[in-house]
Structure 1
């Protein structure tokens, strides 16, 4: 098997095109990483928001039940 480049340094340089090639790989990896990370972060944020809303609704329900259970004060007519 014959390799295209003589050594690792010439492989990285790629006959003068190395900076462009490696920059393209870097940008592609950043974009792919963002495509994975951003939905995960958004999902985490939505779950926190959903949990907060559930806690608020449960607190409202408990308050409504407590209001119904309390006897209303008798008024003097």
Structure 2
């Protein structure tokens, strides 16, 4: 180890404030990136689920309409 004591390690030869500040800012930026990615992932999954439900309802309505149309045609003949 190049430092004589732990306090010398923290001081970093007088540049400790800048060194530890840069570490702190970097860790904060990475934490925000992870948090943002997780929340965006959850939102996208919810949007996909909503879209799938909407499409399923549309398919079901279209099938029901087709069934009713066929029934109407068969009653007319």
State whether TM-score is above 0.5. yes
Offset at residue 49 of structure 1 (A): 0.4
The normalised TM-score by structure 2 is 0.70
| Structure 1 segments of 4+ aligned residues over 4 angstroms from their partners | none
Instruction: List gaps (5 residues or longer) in structure 1.
Output: none
RMSD: 2.2
Counterpart of 2:46 in structure 1 is 48
Instruction: List gaps (5 residues or longer) in structure 2.
Output: none
What is the aligned residue count? 71
- Once residues 39 and 60 of structure 1 are traced to their aligned partners in structure 2, the CA distance between those partners, rounded to angstroms, is 31
Find the partner of 1:23 among 13, 21, 24: 21
Which has the larger helix fraction?
2
